[in-house]
Amino acid sequence: MSIRIIDAGRVSGIRSQTIYHGLAKMFEHTSPNTIVLATPNDPYFSIGYFQDAEQELDIKHCKSSGIPVVRRETGGGAVFLDHNQLFVQWIFHKDALPPQVGDRFKYFIEPIVRTYRRIGIDAYYHPINDIHVDQKKIAGLGGAQIGEAQVVTGNFIIDFDFDTMLQAMHIQNQHLKSQTIRDMNAYLTTIRKETGNDIAVADLKIIYLLQCRKWLQQQLVMDYFTEKEIRVFEELDHKMLSDDWLYKIKNKKLDHKMVKIHSGIWLGNISYRESEWTFEIKFGQLTDLYSDKHFPEVKKLTQLVLKPQAIQMRIEKLFGQKQEAEYWKKLLMKIYALRNKYA
């Protein structure tokens, strides 16, 4: 069985999303498994299907900057996308991919990882949907079942505009914002950062498709979009840029904010007993804790594994039976609960 390959080249931002949505919606039991390569010609923000646009991004800022916001039908968080990225989109039959989500992502990223390694970047799979280089994220993955198709998406990031992403993020707490700036620069990386050079998108495509052929052990057949497919894309272009679609999801306003740097590092902000707290979690450990009020005990509460037993032991060691022990225990358990909810 062969795999259909479509090199869409440079397309509009919205079309870089509506291609895989459209192919998936038209997918039938006779449709070939398809891999699409595409690069957006213009910048845009993409939010996950279940996200509230106004809670994730500063929509007013995005509009004044002339950068569209698009809700996709795959999960994950808000991302900034532009011409410095090459998108890889698989639209496959369900039985052509592993049934478990983690296994599916791992299977999908193998030719991407091999491509990175061929250009001198020691990339590896980081569960459940990241690609890392020395604990830094260099690509994220998304997936969903759309219609009869199983869709998995990823990208090669040649360069990334950190400033544009940060300016658009809906973060009101200034300490959390400064932490986000610090950690995004420290724990997100690109081909340019890792190699000191750019790479031609055409070269990336050649290497990637070669790795796909080796990994999938199937014939790759170059193809073009049909007129019918293009008509569907055009219909979706209009729908996915509409306000009805953008504001489709309205979530309850939260008393906290969580920012995912990558799947091992989270930043957060919560209000607790008239204090504003920001925190950092790295690979399951509370590594930073900060309040808008002065608490000398704070430094002794970091470098803590976020598990109930470890929290209890640290509180007992620091406070024994003192009255304030309950305050700190409840705060740490709130952070632990948020880590479990989002991680």
Cβ atoms 166, 176 nearer than 8 A: no
Average pLDDT over residues 131-160: 94
> 215-228 pLDDT, tens per residue?
999 999 999 999 99
Q: Are residues 61 and 174 in the same domain?
A: yes
Share of the chain above pLDDT 70, in %: 100
Q: Are strands 44-47 and 69-71 parallel, antiparallel or unpaired?
A: parallel
The structure tokens listed for 180 are: 């986000």
Chain centroid to CA 105:
13
Indicate the helix (H) or strand (E) that contains 267. Answer: strand 265-272
Q: Please tell me which residue, 111 or 272, carries the higher pLDDT value.
A: 111
> 279-299 pLDDT, tens per residue?
999 999 999 999 988 888 888
Q: Are residues 302 and 272 in the same domain?
A: yes
CATH code at 23?
Answer: 3.30.930.10
Average pLDDT over residues 42-69: 94
User: pLDDT class for 90, splitting at 50, 70, 90?
Assistant: very high
* CA distance readout (Å), 319 to 151, 252, 282, 294, 327: 51, 36, 25, 18, 11
pLDDT at site 273: 85
In a domain, 258, yes or no: no
Rounded CA-CA distance 212/332 in Å is: 46
- Angle at Cα 51 formed by Cα 277 and Cα 12, nearest 5°? 125
Closest C-alpha among 76, 54, 84, 58 to residue 254: 54
DSSP string covering 19-82, please? HHHHHHHT--TTSPPEEEEEEESS-EEEE-TT--HHHHB-HHHHHHTT--EEE-SS-S--EEE-
Q: Are residues 84 and 227 in the same domain?
A: yes
Residue 1 pLDDT greater than 80, yes or no: no
Establish how many alpha carbons lie within 13 A of residue 131's alpha carbon, considering only the half-sphere containing its beta carbon: 29
Cβ atoms 173, 276 nearer than 8 A: yes
Residue 233 pLDDT greater than 80, yes or no: yes
Q: Are residues 229 and 274 in the same domain?
A: no
User: pLDDT class for 28, splitting at 50, 70, 90?
Assistant: very high
> 164-189 pLDDT, tens per residue?
999 999 998 999 999 999 999 999 99
Domain that holds residue 100: 3-246
Q: What region, left, alpha or beta, does residue 141 occupy, with left being phi > 0 and alpha being psi -120 to 50 degrees?
A: beta
Total domains in the fold of the chain: 2
Q: Are residues 78 and 188 in the same domain?
A: yes
Average pLDDT over residues 38-44: 96
Q: Are residues 279 and 163 in the same domain?
A: no
Residue 76 pLDDT greater than 90, yes or no: no
The structure tokens listed for 328 are: 């700190």
Residue 263 pLDDT greater than 90, yes or no: no
